Structure 1
Amino acid sequence: MSALTESSGWAIFSAVAAAHALGVMSPGPDFAMVVRQSLAQGRGAGLWTAAGIGSGILFHVSYGLFGLSWLVHKLPGSMRVIAVAGALFLLWMGIQALRAEPLTAQSETAGGTPQRSSAQNYWIGLATNVLNPKATLFFVALFTAVISGPVSTDLKLALALWLPLTTFGWFATVALMLSHPALRRALRAHAHQLDHAMGVILIALGTMVLIETLRSL
C-alpha cells in the first residue's frame, strides 16, 4: 500500500468514525430503548440491548461497504417496507411502556416485573436499530459522501469492526450509568412516570416515521 493510499484510507476512516460518533450519541430510538430497558429490566438487559444495537450496525454498514446501496436506489419500495415495520415496532414498544404497571417494593421483590431473557433483550436492540429507516439513510448518505471510489478490504474490515464496537461501547456505557444502584434506586422511585414518558417518546417517533413514509407514497 502506498503512503498516499494509506493516508487516504485513514482520512476516510477518520471521517466516517467521527460522523458515526456524532450520530450514535444523538438521542433517538436506540437511546430511548436502552434507557427504558436499563431502568425497567436492569444492567444485564441494558447491556444485551446495547449488544443488539451494535450488531444492527453491521446491517447498515453492509449498505455502503459491501455493495448493497444499490438496493435503496433501485428498489425504493424496500425502504418503505423497512420504515413501516420500524414505525410499527416503535409504536408497539411504546404501547407496552404505557401499559406497564406501577412498580412497588412488594412487586419488585416478588418478581412482579416480567423479566425478559438475554436473547429477548438482544433481539429488541437488534430490531430497534435494523428497523430504524433513518439509520439506514444515514449510513447510505455517509458512505456515498465520504467514499467516492473503491476502498481496500482492510479499510472495509476496519470500519465493519470499529462502528459496531463503538456503538456497543456507547450504549453499554449508558446502560451501566443508568443501572448504577444509587442512580437506579432514585430513578425507579419514578419508574412509572419514566415508563410513560418513554412510551410517549417511542410512540411519537413511530408516528413521525409512519407519517413521513405515508407522505412519500
Structure 2
Amino acid sequence: MEYLPLFGSVLFIHLLAVMSPGPDFIMALRNSLTYSRKTGVYTAIGFGLGIGVHVFYCVFGLALIISTSQVAFNIIKFLGVAYLAYIGVVSVYSKTKDISAGNQAHKKDISALKAIKIGFLTNVLNPKATLFFLSLFTFVIGPNVPKSIAWVLGVMMMINTALWFSLVAIFFTQSRIRAIFNKYQKAFNIVFGVLLIAIAIKIVFT
C-alpha cells in the first residue's frame, strides 16, 4: 500500500510522455496506415518491448554508466538518428499502394516480426526515451525503491505503451480515415518521412 502513490505518479507521468507526439507516434501512424491495423498493433508491441530495455538498464544500474558517459550516450543518440533518418528516407521514396478496405487481402503487408522489430528499434534508439527513463528512475522512482517494485512499474509501463499505440493503430485504420489516406497516400508518406528526418536532425543538435 505504501507504494500506491508512487504507482499513480509514475503511470500518470509515463502516460503523458507516451501520448506526446514523437518518433513512436509517427511510426505507429506510418505502419498502421501504410500497411494494416495488424501491423500497427505489432509495431505497438515492439514499442512495449523497447520500454523493457530502458527499464532493464535503469533497474540494474547501467543507467549510471549511460548518464555519466558522454560516449555511451552519443552512441545511442547517433544510432537513433541514423535509424530514424533511414526510415524517413524510405517513407519519402516509397511507392503508393492501394490500401482500401476491399483490397486488404491483396496488398503486400510486412511480417509481424518485422513490425515488432521496427517498433522495438524506434523506441530503444530514441535518445529522448533514454533521457526520460533516466530521469524517471532517478528522480521519481528513486534508488531506494525495491527492484521488485521497479520491475512491476516497468512491466506496467510496457503494457501501457503497447495498449496506447494499439489504440492509435485501431483508431487511425477506421474505414473513413483509411480512405482519406489511400487517396493522398504519397503526400502522407512524404509528410511522415519528413517528420522523421526532422526529428532525427533535431536530436543531432539537442
Give the equivalent residue in structure 1 for 2:94: 100
Q: Distance in 2 between matches of 1:144 and 1:150?
A: 10
Alignment partner of 1:80 is 2:85:
no
Give the equivalent residue in structure 2 for 1:141: 135
Q: Distance in 2 between matches of 1:35 and 1:98?
A: 14
Give the equivalent residue in structure 2 for 1:196: 190
Q: Distance in 1 between matches of 2:70 and 2:171?
A: 39
1:121 paired residue among 79, 92, 115 = 115
Q: Where does structure 1 lack aligned partners over 5 or more consecutive residues?
A: 1-5, 213-217
Give the equivalent residue in structure 2 for 1:3: none
**TM-score (normalizing by structure 1):** 0.87
What's the CA shift for 1:158?
Answer: 1.6
Give the equivalent residue in structure 1 for 2:39: 45
What's the CA shift for 1:111?
Answer: 8.4
**TM-score (normalizing by structure 2):** 0.91
CA RMSD of aligned residues (A): 2.1
Alignment partner of 1:186 is 2:180:
yes
Trace 1:23-42 onto structure 2 (pairs within 5 A).
Answer: 23-42=17-36
Q: Distance in 1 between matches of 2:65 and 2:90?
A: 33
Q: Distance in 2 between matches of 1:105 and 1:180?
A: 12
* Residues 146 and 100 of structure 1, relative CA distance in 2, 3 Å threshold: same
What's the CA shift for 1:104?
Answer: 4.9
Higher alpha-carbon Rg:
1
Q: Is the contact between residue 10 and residue 141 of structure 2 (CA under 8 Å) also seen in structure 1?
A: no
Q: Distance in 2 between matches of 1:153 and 1:135?
A: 20
Q: Is the contact between residue 103 and residue 192 of structure 1 (CA under 8 Å) also seen in structure 2?
A: no
Alignment partner of 1:174 is 2:174:
no
Q: Is the contact between residue 13 and residue 155 of structure 1 (CA under 8 Å) also seen in structure 2?
A: no
Alignment partner of 1:66 is 2:22:
no
Q: Is the contact between residue 43 and residue 115 of structure 2 (CA under 8 Å) also seen in structure 1?
A: yes
* Residues 61 and 102 of structure 1, relative CA distance in 2, 3 Å threshold: same
Give the equivalent residue in structure 2 for 1:130: 124
Alignment partner of 1:207 is 2:201:
yes
